[in-house]
Amino acid sequence: MTVLKGIDISNWQAGFDISAAQPGFVIAKATEGTTYVDRCCDGFIQDCIKHDIPFGFYHFARFNDAAAEAKFFYENTRGYIGKGIPVLDFEVPNSNSWLETWCKTFYGLSGVRPWVYMSADYLNNRGYGTPWVKSNCGLWLAGYPRAYTSYPSPDCPYRHAGWTLAAWQFTSSLAMGGMSVDGDFFYGDRTAWDRYVGSGQDNASVLDLASATIKGEYGIGAARRAALGSRYDEVQAKVNDLYAKANKVIKGSYGNGVDRRNALGDEYDIVQYIVDNMLK
């Protein structure tokens, strides 16, 4: 099993020397709620960039409106998009609807699917995680089977059915750099890490977002506008275009079978989806 050995830190580790410690990756706290920005975040991340250390950045959830918290995180970290992995730290007992709204809102704004940090208790005993979130967001699972101060076996002992396990936080007592820090494993190599980052290639296309919108994943009206954020206008224009093409299909403008598929190209599946629903 290929793993990277890393840490996560915040202002509680102010002064931590990333260049000296050289962890395999760093995930730094960036924001919390709708008003708090961690004063140490940018310094940690700039050190990671300088020394080519993979990094992530996380938002600590509170009890505000989910879309508002996602927008606050995005606005304060947009310079890190495409460079590091965004994460929602979900430790407060908000609803599953809150969780999904936050993730979809951030995805709509950034085009990047965030990780979700969650405890094994929340995951396995309290039923957190929706089908959309499980399918689209990597899981960073927190669970401490022992009071580890160094890296143990990377085999995570906790259940995580339905999720892709991206990382495991196994302790809050890892000895590194003269401090006690949270210790983590990432399940993959640098290439796998970069896929989660997005690096511009994995960001959602307007067709992807429009297709998801048509299938109801971003709601309607004000809810859709909030979820899609700055991408709302381009996505809505694409939705309208796809419906117009579906009407043309019904009128015979694109032919049938292979001719229709060739004429519509990448848009065939979603246009056909619209046609099938219009003809029900």
Question: The domain containing residue 27 runs over which residues?
Answer: 3-197
Domains of the chain: total: 2
The rounded distance, in Å, linking the Cα atoms of 43 and 19 is 12
The rounded distance, in Å, linking the Cα atoms of 48 and 57 is 11
Last residue within a domain, chosen from 149, 170, 197: 197
Residues 178 and 240 in one domain: no
Residue 119 has pLDDT above 90, yes or no: yes
The rounded distance, in Å, linking the Cα atoms of 67 and 134 is 19
The rounded distance, in Å, linking the Cα atoms of 109 and 144 is 34
| Closest-CA residue to 160 (of 124, 117, 196) | 124
Residues 76 and 127 in one domain: yes
- The share of the chain scoring above pLDDT 70, in percent, equals 98
Residues 101 and 181 in one domain: yes
Residues 101 and 184 in one domain: yes
Query: What pLDDT, on a 0 to 100 scale, did the predictor assign at position 226?
Result: 73
Q: Are 114 and 237 in contact (CB under 8 A)?
A: no
Q: Which pair of structure tokens corresponds to residue 180? A: 């006690």
Residues 137 and 252 in one domain: no
Question: What would the pLDDT profile of 148-167 be if each residue is shown by its tens digit?
Answer: 999 999 999 999 999 999 99
Determine how β-strand 26-32 pairs with β-strand 36-37.
antiparallel
Residues 127 and 74 in one domain: yes
The rounded distance, in Å, linking the Cα atoms of 2 and 15 is 30
The mean-pLDDT minimum among 90-99, 113-122, 165-174, 211-220 falls in: 211-220
Question: What would the pLDDT profile of 219-251 be if each residue is shown by its tens digit?
Answer: 888 778 877 777 788 889 999 999 999 999 999
Last residue within a domain, chosen from 197, 220, 254: 197
Last residue within a domain, chosen from 197, 214, 230: 197
Query: What pLDDT, on a 0 to 100 scale, did the predictor assign at position 203?
Result: 53
Residues 54 and 27 in one domain: yes
The rounded distance, in Å, linking the Cα atoms of 265 and 263 is 6
Residues 210 and 193 in one domain: no
The rounded distance, in Å, linking the Cα atoms of 164 and 134 is 7
Q: Which letter, b or e, does each residue of 197-224 get, where b requires 16 or more Cβ atoms within 10 Å of its Cβ?
A: bbeeeeebeebebbbbbbeebbeeeeeb
Q: Classify residue 174 as left (phi > 0), alpha (psi -120 to 50) or beta.
A: beta
Residues 91 and 40 in one domain: yes
Q: Are 117 and 169 in contact (CB under 8 A)?
A: yes
Residues 153 and 41 in one domain: yes
Taking the whole predicted model, whether its pTM rises above 0.85 is answered as: no
Query: What pLDDT, on a 0 to 100 scale, did the predictor assign at position 201?
Result: 34
Q: Which pair of structure tokens corresponds to residue 77? A: 């970290």
Residues 89 and 136 in one domain: yes
**Residue that has been written with the tokens 């979900």 in this structure:** 90
Residue 204 pLDDT level (bands cut at 50, 70, 90): low
**DSSP one-letter code for 215:** T
Residues 30 and 128 in one domain: yes
Query: What pLDDT, on a 0 to 100 scale, did the predictor assign at position 221?
Result: 86
Instruction: Report the chain's C-alpha Rg in angstroms.
Output: 21
Higher pLDDT, 205 or 45: 45
CATH code for position 14: 3.20.20.80
